[in-house]
Amino acid sequence: MVGKQTQKTKRKPTKRKATKRKPTKRKRRKPTRTSMLPKLIGTALVVGALVVLGTYAYFSRDLPSVSALRDYKPQQTTRVYDRHKKVIGEIFSERRTVIPMSKVPRHMVLSVLAAEDADFYEHEGLDYNGILRAVGRDIVAGRAAQGGSTITQQVVKLMLLTPERTLSRKVRELILARRLENELSKNEILHLYLNHVNFGRGRYGIQEAARYYFAKDAGDLTLAESAMLAGVPQAPTRLSPRRNPEAAKRRQAYVLSQLQAKREVYWPDLSEAAITAARKEKVELAPLPEGSGKAPEVLSIARQALRAAVGDEALGEGGYEVHTTIDLSLQKQAREALQRGLRAVDERQGYKGPFRRTRRRGAPKATKSATSLRMGRTYIARVTGVDDENESIRIDVAGHPAVLPMRDAARYNPDGRRASAFTKKGDLLPVSITQMGGEEDPAVARMERGPEGAVVVIEPRSRHVLALVGSFAAVSGFNRATQAIRQPGSAFKPLVYARAIQSRRFTAASLVVDAPAVYEEWKPRNYEQWNYQGAVRLRQALARSINMVAIRVVEDIGVHDVAEFARQDGIATKLAEDMALALGASGVKPIELTNAYATFAAGGRWAPTRIVSKIVAPDGTRVQLARGEPARDVMTPSEAYVMTSMLRSVVTEGTGSPAQRLERAVVGKTGTSNEARDAWFVGFSPSVVAGVWVGFDDSRPLGRRETGTRTALPIWIDVMDAADTTPKETDFAMPSGVTRALVDPASGLLAYEGQEDAFEEVFLTGTAPVEVARPPDVADPNLFLMEQYEEEGGSESTETAPPPREERVLGGMAPP
């Protein structure tokens, strides 16, 4: 059909029949080791990093700050010096003297690097190869046994951590080592190491090591010496040159070989010739330094002065120099003199071995049981056993076990017998405690069979103490020179007579009656009880140490007056103000009485004694010392001279006559307390004052015939012989205000013309007698008038008659 749009019919799509295909199996490739490795490595790295970070975070907790090491202030050694800059002793917790790197020689630095850490200036605090080697060996050993530490790690271990060998401590050490390298320079770290490390025998730091082993400063060490010291810190005890010299030499050889092997790479400036010479050099150790036993009394005083000046904290830090007035050589001689004198007493009185076994009344008995022991007291101990192998004696002290080392009984064992021959079980021994015991450890004792003593030597003008000895043995403890309070006996009389002279009521020529008297039921008497001499001049009374004259003088001028004078003259110990003061019945300290005599030698001026002269801080500045009492004039120079002149008679004609063998101008006074419990001699020359005391700590009598003359004076003579180095012809200078006059020895009046037995006496100006003694062939007009009066019947009344001669002289000077 034309024009007709035809429509195409749509054909239905025919569905094709789907054919099912069998799925084909794909073959999986088997993983190879090569393909797995990157993943394993990646995983391991991630896990490792997490472990490291976790470990770092865990062990970084509560770590000390390394920045604190910038302000390095370790405990250092404080040294105490004598007046000549000789070391008396040391005060320390650790013996250490910090020095800057500029004072450490380069060959010492190289020796340390060769011995400990050649790569120190190359690594950043950790030697990883060394760590791996150490870990491998620790695994083989099954414990933390291998070191492998750099110098930086050692500084951390020494100064920031504990020395324990554990894995946790090692990890902390590694962390801190890296931090320290970021905080300080290499030289600063090496400075810490060289000043802090242990070089054996209690010496810390290179300066102390150099002083101890070679008696020189670190800057003066040779290469051979440096190499030996550099090897010590690895094992300070085993490699100490003093304890194990052969091991120290082997270690030195190793250090020198390391210096040689690594020279070209690390330190080419060190020549082979220097190393070869060091190998050939014979290294000799210095003699062992003397310990602090030379003057423990002075060390104790130095410590007290330092504590008072800087406080406990600074005292603990140390590093100070304490300079003293002590002459160390004289100190030694003074102690030796005391020891000779005390041994002489031991010999005379039989003070050897244990107490004799006896049932006599008054025999020693063991001290009763006490809840505790204390130092500074003498006990009577019972022997419970002996130990020859350990050279000791087992004892029971007031119910407490103790040990007595035989070395501490050597004074009473001159033959050197063994413990079993020296004593037996059940014997009694007088002892003191030197070390308190613990729950399981017994106390340690020292035998105290014989008396003790003290010596004080003073330069009078400066009041510098030249020697101070407080015991027979040079041991710390009770210092009798400054702490013992003992009766001075007649050694106190010069203070009585000095006040009498000062009062102008007496002169050296005044007559005072020596006769018995009673004072409120107290009946004093002379040492020679059978001998009373009637009217005696004051000079004679002092020379012969007549008690009754001293008592009458005190009665006249007043007890309080004498006590006050003594206080002004430096006697700080409280004095009992009674008549017995005239005889030295009130206790004083040896240093007090010796310094009181120094007032006479110094022209009447008192000043406190000085032992510590200056203290220098670690930074070189001078520490301000506490000011003592100001000096004061106790007497005029003329009064002091008259007193000195009177004391001269003690030596020339009295109880101190053995001192004449010094053949120089010396004066002094003996002293013996009741029952010879104390023996003294105190005296001086124009340049030195010395005092000696001897006695038992428990105030037992010294023994038959022991006196100040016999017991103390020989010690004083030996001390003065060593102490006074001035020309022997040096004499006491007479000041103005003193006059001389010839005196009649019987009356104390001016001598008559031509009197043969007249002697020259010294007087304060204006106190000399004006009346002249009558020659023996001239009658006394008073007696003539009395006879005439009696003949005229006036004998029944004598009120107008002059009193007897002896009554007229009791109160003081002979009348003009």
Known catalytic residues are 116, 490
Assign residue 642 a region: left if phi > 0, alpha if psi is -120 to 50, beta otherwise? alpha
**Distance, CA of 679 to CA of 710 (rounded, Å):** 9
Residue type, 750: L
Query: Pick from 118, 189, 186: which is nearest to 158 by CA?
Result: 189
Using only the alpha carbons of the chain, give its radius of gyration. Answer: 44
Tokens of 704: 């038959």
DSSP reduced 3-state for 129: helix
Can you spell out the DSSP letters for 212-278?
A: HHHSS-GGG--HHHHHHHHTGGGSTTTT-TTT-HHHHHHHHHHHHHHHHHTHHHH-TTS-HHHHHHH
**Conformational region of residue 139, where left means phi above 0, alpha means psi within -120 to 50, and beta covers everything else:** alpha
Are 376 and 432 a contacting pair, CB within 8 Å?
yes
Contacts of 168 (CB under 8 A, 6+ apart): 59
The two three-digit tokens of residue 9, written as one number: 């019919």
The maximal CA–CA distance of the chain, rounded, in angstroms, is 222
- Residue 301 in contact with residue 611, Cβ under 8 Å? yes
Could you give the CA distance from residue 100 to residue 763 in angstroms, rounded to a whole number? 65
CA distance 277 to 534: 87
**DSSP helix/strand/coil, 158:** helix
Q: Where are the alpha helices (DSSP H) in 675-745?
A: 713-723
User: What is d(CA 670, CA 655) in angstroms, rounded to the nearest whole number?
Assistant: 7
- Long-range (24+ apart) CB contacts under 8 A made by 175-178 are 175/56, 175/59, 175/60, 175/63, 176/63, 176/64, 176/66, 177/125, 177/126, 177/150, 177/152, 177/153, 178/124, 178/125, 178/126
- Say how far apart CA 303 and CA 299 lie, in whole Å: 6
Question: How far is the C-alpha of 547 from the C-alpha of 549, rounded, in Å?
Answer: 6
Let me know: does 366 contact 380? Beta carbons within 8 Å. Answer: yes
Q: In b/e form, how buried is each residue of 327-344, taking b as 16+ CB within 10 angstroms?
A: bbebbbbbbebbbebbbe
Under 8 Å between Cβ of 624 and 311: no
Q: Indicate the Cα dihedral angle 589, 641, 684, 84, nearest 10°.
A: 100
Q: What is the dihedral of CA 259, 263, 265, 269, to 10 degrees?
A: 130
**Calpha distance 740→763 (Å, rounded):** 6
To the nearest 10 degrees (0 to 180), the angle between helices 493-503 and 590-601 is 40
User: At 176, which helix (H) or strand (E)?
Assistant: helix 167-183
Grouping H, G, I as helix, E, B as strand and the rest as coil, residue 676 is helix
Residue 491 and residue 668 in contact, taking contact as beta carbons nearer than 8 Å: no
